[in-house]
Amino acid sequence: MELLFTLLATVVALGLLVTIHEYGHFWVARRCGVKVLRFSIGFGPALYSWRDRQGTEYAIAAIPLGGYVKMLDEREAPVPAEELAQAFNRKPVGQRIAVVAAGPIANFLLAIAAFWLIAVLGVTTVVPVLGPVAPDTPAAQAGLHENLELVAIDGAATPSWHEVNLQLIRRLGETGVLDVQAREHQGGAVQHYQVKLDDWLKGAEEPEPLSALGLSSWQPKVPPRIGQVEEGGAAASAGLQPGDLITAVDGKAVSDWVAEVVPAIQASAQRELQITVERDGRQLELNLTPAAKAQNDVVVGYIGAGVDAFEWPADMRREIHHNPLVAIPVALGKTWDMTALTLDSLKKMLTGLVSAKNLSGPITIAKVAGASAKSGLESFLSFIAYLSISLGVLNLLPVPVLDGGHLVYYIAEWIRGKPLSERIQTWGLQIGLSLIVGVMLFAIYNDISRLGG
């Protein structure tokens, strides 16, 4: 059932992104008088298709991993004399540039719409208050300490942990000073803390910015009551059930899931633990052997169980929402920031400051799609916005085969007054195709490696 849900969320997300992208090409092509032969969502044989009055075929194909808009073009097939004026290749270069650019632009517009909707609906988030700060770490050396509320990083407001992490990700691989503004929670003046960075997390395969600085988030005391048990996991094998309250681990009394139970489990990979649980008013002794998994190059234990839902204190929750007008610049700003972050991450990946192992493929996208859909509408909309921005940015890269590569050809034609030679364009397409296939295979390899880990 979980696999089906993940597949459904992935199909919905990718289907929406591809439809919006291709509709951008389609809409501008129609406005420029180009005849559109086919608008397909997906590749391969059509599962369902229909035609409109202008003869365009609309199709939903079997392989939902992309799509295309096929236009009338003499370079692909002979065009009747009476339709030559509607051929894409016969249009002025400015119109061809507009048609090609419209797809990525549509993706940015989708991201703006998603961020706008999130801003209007509002979100409830956790106030970014620090928990214990690890000694002898960059954060501790800068003077940061427990119970400080992070107000801004490098001048950008951080009303939630999500914003904190985004600002930290921007500094991956860099050397310099991280400017942190913070104040005592529930009062106090804002102070500046200068955290020194030196090739910070350069080349890290799975960077964890917060812990790398020595920071942790404040956590409420969470009763160790089991909420979910994964079928076939160590917890299920030991007989743990939803509703069980863990009261002791190896004879030591426990009352906090995060501070006591989780560390004990993580430190006991493939080593039997004696746990005491309270169930229906009775005390039961169970033998639990956590399975082992790799986490940041360290083997830790896990049991395949989650804690029961709990309430955060009111002063640690924050409501963030905007009226429809104010939400417009908020959405524009978020889209701009995420576009800049995507471009910066690509640059750092090419220069080795960020590990190419962070490149993700369809498997990771599917996992994130499923997880975000489970987390609620706001999380799923955010995922759609981020993925749409990534698709827009990647398509604008000057690589033949991609929209950006076609734009390079047409801009060169506009400057020269004539198209590039067929020979040069063919070479470019071959190189571009090889590059794209290579990157896709590497991304899929990264996905499989993560699954193995």
Instruction: State residue 324's pLDDT score.
Output: 95
Cβ neighbours of residue 17 under 8 Å, at least 6 residues apart? 107, 110, 384, 387, 388, 391
- Could you give the CA distance from residue 355 to residue 205 in angstroms, rounded to a whole number? 5
pLDDT in tens, 212-271: 999 999 988 889 999 999 888 899 999 999 999 999 999 999 999 888 999 999 999 899
Residue in the structure block whose two tokens are 């860099």:
174
Beta bridge partners of 246: 277
How, if at all, do strands 176-184 and 156-157 pair? unpaired
Active site residue 22: yes
Identity at 282, one-letter amino acid code: R
CA distances from 99 to 96, 157, 211, 245 (A): 5, 37, 46, 61
- For the beta carbon of residue 267, count every other beta carbon within 10 angstroms: 12
Among candidate residues 158, 112, 75, 198, the one with its CA nearest the CA of residue 392: 112
Tell if the pTM clears 0.75, that is, is over it. Answer: yes
- Could you give the CA distance from residue 355 to residue 30 in angstroms, rounded to a whole number? 42
- Of the candidates 22, 149, 163, 260, the residue annotated as catalytic is 22
- CA 202, 207, 210, 216 torsion: positive or negative? negative
Cβ neighbours of residue 355 under 8 Å, at least 6 residues apart? 203, 204, 205, 207, 349
Beta bridge partners of 298: 295
Instruction: State residue 187's pLDDT score.
Output: 78
- Could you give the CA distance from residue 17 to residue 392 in angstroms, rounded to a whole number? 10
- Could you give the CA distance from residue 366 to residue 368 in angstroms, rounded to a whole number? 5
Among candidate residues 359, 362, 339, the one with its CA nearest the CA of residue 349: 359
Beta bridge partners of 130: 217
- Spatial contact of 168 and 201, defined as CB atoms under 8 Å apart: no
**End-to-end CA gap in the chain:** 23
Residue in the structure block whose two tokens are 């309430």:
311
- Spatial contact of 194 and 142, defined as CB atoms under 8 Å apart: yes
DSSP reduced 3-state for 314: helix
Phi, psi of 302, deg, nearest 5 = -150, 155
Ordered domains of the chain (ranges, CATH): 95-122+321-453 (no CATH), 124-219+312-320 (2.30.42.10), 226-309 (2.30.42.10)
Identity at 39, one-letter amino acid code: F
Among candidate residues 244, 294, 300, the one with its CA nearest the CA of residue 270: 300
pLDDT < 70 stretches in the chain: 1-3, 5, 295-297, 361-375, 447, 450-453
- Could you give the CA distance from residue 445 to residue 78 in angstroms, rounded to a whole number? 41
- Six token digits for residue 127: 């106030």
- Could you give the CA distance from residue 303 to residue 331 in angstroms, rounded to a whole number? 40
Cβ neighbours of residue 112 under 8 Å, at least 6 residues apart? 331, 332, 335
Q: What is the per-residue DSSP string for 150-208?
A: EEEETTEE-SSHHHHHHHHHTTTT--EEEEEEEEETTS---EEEEEEESSTTTT-SS--
Gyration radius from the chain CA atoms: 26
- For the beta carbon of residue 237, count every other beta carbon within 10 angstroms: 16
- Six token digits for residue 26: 């389609």
Instruction: State residue 375's pLDDT score.
Output: 66
Beta bridge partners of 148: 184
Nearest 5°: the CA angle 375, 381, 387 is 110
Residue in the structure block whose two tokens are 């065009």:
79
Cβ neighbours of residue 205 under 8 Å, at least 6 residues apart? 355, 357, 358
- Six token digits for residue 98: 């507009």
- Could you give the CA distance from residue 241 to residue 234 in angstroms, rounded to a whole number? 12
